Structure 1
Amino acid sequence: KNGKKIPNYTERLNRQYLPPCYMETGAFVISKRIVVTPKTRIGENVDIFEVPEDEAQDVDTFEDLRSVAATLEKQKVAIYVNGNNKRGIGHIYRALEIADEFYSKPHIYYDTNQTDPKVFGITTHELIPVNGIADLFERCKKEKYTVFINDILTTSIDYMIGLKSVLPDAKIINFEDDGEGILKADLVFNALYHENDLPQVKAGEKYYISGKTFMFYEPIKVKEHVKKVFISFGGADPQNYSDRLLRMITNEDYKKIKFVVVLGRAKYNVETLMDYNKWDNIEVLYDVSNMPELMSSCDIGVTSRGRTGYELAMLGIPSISMAQNQREEKHGFVCNENGFTYIGLNPADEIIESNLRMYINLSKESREQFQNKLLSHDLRGGRKRVMSLINGL
């Protein structure tokens, strides 16, 4: 205006709160024959046809061409995941972490017969309920995904053949799968299991995907004495280890030790266990948002053999572990050789308590030895390795 640049709005706001601002793409002009003259193609009554932003790219430079190529080659990603009290919800956490890594927002499917949507917590990702495998396959047929990720535990040959029949051009990636379906997958990541001879199976802790927030925390400094104990058995705790530990630590012998007990989204009888907060030295929390902050305030941990074990190892927290089920007994990383004290599946109370007492009384030097073993593993680079292999398919 008058030779000066002025804003095309009256009030300065974030772009999403401003009225729409259109730019002409020149993609097409549709006019009635009678308005077209040697001087104009535009009549008196003009309207616009809005095209999606990714279809409105004007190619004038090689940089523009590169941008268009990226749009044309954009992945269309789906994730199928289930989690509950029996299966655990580490799958849910991992699926949400993986979803954040793609440039295009994935569709996240879950089976309403197996998964309560509450276990996803608060998320901006698109969650799509399905009623069984047939419903899932019908949706996949319409969407034509280029990448399909399964995080549903063991897959069968039949399931994988059915999935490939509706998505013949998709790359199929499975997580934590020790079923026959791995033979039909393009990639399998089994961070919790031992090495496998199949070329498409990537096993071991170097493929563990940590929560993003853990990347910002350094390992704890080992103190002279144990003053605070972290206790958590994942999102479900089907063996009810939390209940057993809470009963133990109400003993007068532990009154000088602070205990932090974290319950997950799929845990039953949460309200009953919250009553233990009446003890001065016991804090029971539900669905903690900043787990690494809480863990880092503790000196030792007690956990199962799933995701939480890896998180404690990343922070160098000496820990006792026990398996939740026979499948967890096959998880290789959380073991004595790697710096944990593993006491098996469903150990007796006296075994749990004797190990807890031992850990509370361990010298600083002994806890430092445990920490050195825990920190000798590269658990921070897994996300990059996994995504590099997926994107390289």
Structure 2
Amino acid sequence: MIPIGEQLEKKLAIYVCDTDGKGTYPIRRAEIIAESLPDTINIVFIHNEGSPSIPEGYEKVAIKKSSELLSALEKIKPDLLLRDSGSTSKEEVDKINKVVPSVIHFDDFGGGGKVADLVIQTLYTEANDKLPDHYVIGAETFIADKHMTSYKHLGLQKEITRPLPHLVISFGDEDLGNLTYRALRHMLQLQIPLKVTILLGANYKHDKSELKIMALGRRNTFIQEQPLNTAEFYSTADIILCASGYMPYEIAVMGIPCIVLAQNDFENSLEFPKEKNGFIHLGPGRKVKQSSLLNAIMEPLLHNSLRKKAISRQTALNLGEGKEMVCEAILYFLDYPKRETHDGKGKETSNMI
């Protein structure tokens, strides 16, 4: 990594805001990055109402809503803003650029990304328009946590669980469209012997009693609150049914046959969880046909060649190692800020990515 100057303490502001039902991954990613940076960097987390819980041990600044971010940055005076809050507007980021020497965004599909200094797109679509050079796009930017990396490429050695293969259904922290209910209702018609576990996120707001009643109608079907170490639980699965946001990246680190349902139009437009990368993508979850879903579940369980093909495609991507690139970019922008603002003079960045 590029060493950071020892003479002056640098300040990094991190702003993570829950958007598009992305669940807990953005704040987990932010925590991994924060833990990996030198202790000489003063890290401040900015959070607003409804944001995920901020990691312990860091300075925190609370704002009521995202429109107060600019005023918070004026008070904090960070050398760099690391932002993970969905799509932004050009007008807002133009104002922030006058206050903060350097700005890095994650997964920004808005006009604000065009005027940020670096945009890291782990989520990406099949875009026809050429993006500016300061966009780094691709699955290789995905950062896996330490729990996930301990099960890396597990699927290459794992055999199907006998006598009951294990299907895990998980639609993230919230599951706004309640695809859990829809998937379990279809699963009641599956006749092959199969253990089914439905993982419910901490912010699942729908009626759990209905799920429990349905689960009682099918043998070896269980409802479980999402454990702290989800990677350990996923490792017990022979096949996984999930949404198409960040979770497919986690599954690809491990190498587990996976069926994807999109929770919304945004997720449906994402390019990563497709057949070429080892996934069965059935499109919008609200429209999925029972026969399509059940056939997709049975195929990798009944046909070993299809199962192995999916696993090999996932593991060949060798995902999860994006942390070093992201941390190096942060250190670079702290040492060589793009603009002159509150302290010192800005310096034009070279082609560092």
Query: TM-score, normalization: structure 2?
Result: 0.81
How far did residue 89 of structure 1 move?
A: 4.0
Equivalent residues in 2 for 1:175-186, closer than 5 Å: 175-186=106-117
Q: Deviations over 1:99-129 (max 9, x none)?
A: 32233352222222xx2x5x43874444433
Counterpart position of 1:369:
309
Counterpart position of 1:231:
169
Alignment partner of 1:191 is 2:128: no
How far did residue 77 of structure 1 move?
A: 1.1
The secondary structure found in structure 2 opposite 1:80 is strand
The secondary structure found in structure 2 opposite 1:76 is strand
Alignment partner of 1:172 is 2:112: no
CA distance in 2, matches of 1:333, 1:68: 34
The secondary structure found in structure 2 opposite 1:267 is coil
Contact 1:273/1:284, CA 8 A, preserved across alignment? no
Q: Deviations over 1:324-378 (max 9, x none)?
A: 1111122211111111011111332324533344336432222111110111102
Counterpart position of 1:73:
8
Alignment partner of 1:245 is 2:176: no
Q: Deviations over 1:138-163 (max 9, x none)?
A: 22112110110111111101110121
CA distance in 1, matches of 2:329, 2:281: 32
CA distance in 1, matches of 2:55, 2:200: 17
Counterpart position of 1:290:
229
Q: Deviations over 1:27-54 (max 9, x none)?
A: xxxxxxxxxxxxxxxxxxxxxxxxxxxx
Runs of at least 5 residues in structure 2 that lack an aligned partner in the other structure: 334-353
The secondary structure found in structure 1 opposite 2:231 is helix
Contact 2:259/2:297, CA 8 A, preserved across alignment? no
Alignment partner of 1:314 is 2:250: no
CA distance in 1, matches of 2:78, 2:35: 17
Q: Deviations over 1:158-189 (max 9, x none)?
A: 1101212232x2x1000000111112111100
The secondary structure found in structure 2 opposite 1:371 is helix
CA distance in 1, matches of 2:270, 2:288: 21
Counterpart position of 2:238:
299
RMSD value, Cα: 2.7
Contact 1:234/1:304, CA 8 A, preserved across alignment? yes
> Which letter does structure 1 place at the counterpart of 2:86?
L
CA change 1:349–1:93 in 2 (3 A) is farther
Equivalent residues in 2 for 1:86-105, closer than 5 Å: 86=21, 88-103=23-38, 104=41
The secondary structure found in structure 1 opposite 2:168 is strand
Alignment partner of 1:272 is 2:209: yes
Counterpart position of 2:276:
337
Contact 2:19/2:85, CA 8 A, preserved across alignment? no
Query: TM-score, normalization: structure 1?
Result: 0.73
Counterpart position of 1:147:
80
How far did residue 93 of structure 1 move?
A: 2.9
How far did residue 248 of structure 1 move?
A: 2.6
> Which letter does structure 1 place at the counterpart of 2:68?
D
Counterpart position of 1:24:
none
> Which letter does structure 1 place at the counterpart of 2:226?
D
Counterpart position of 1:52:
none
How far did residue 234 of structure 1 move?
A: 1.9
CA change 1:376–1:296 in 2 (3 A) is same
Whichever of the two has the greater Rg, that structure is: 1
Q: Deviations over 1:284-329 (max 9, x none)?
A: 2223211111111111111111111111111110111121111112
Q: Deviations over 1:250-292 (max 9, x none)?
A: 44725x3111221223321264366256565123222321111
> Which letter does structure 1 place at the counterpart of 2:321?
G
Identify the structure with bigger relative contact order (alpha carbons < 8 Å, sequence gap 6+): 2
CA change 1:152–1:68 in 2 (3 A) is closer
Contact 2:257/2:300, CA 8 A, preserved across alignment? no
CA distance in 1, matches of 2:299, 2:56: 37
CA distance in 2, matches of 1:201, 1:84: 20
Contact 2:259/2:296, CA 8 A, preserved across alignment? yes
CA distance in 1, matches of 2:44, 2:219: 45
The structure 2 residue matched to 1:379, chosen from 306, 319, 324, is 319
Runs of at least 5 residues in structure 1 that lack an aligned partner in the other structure: 1-66
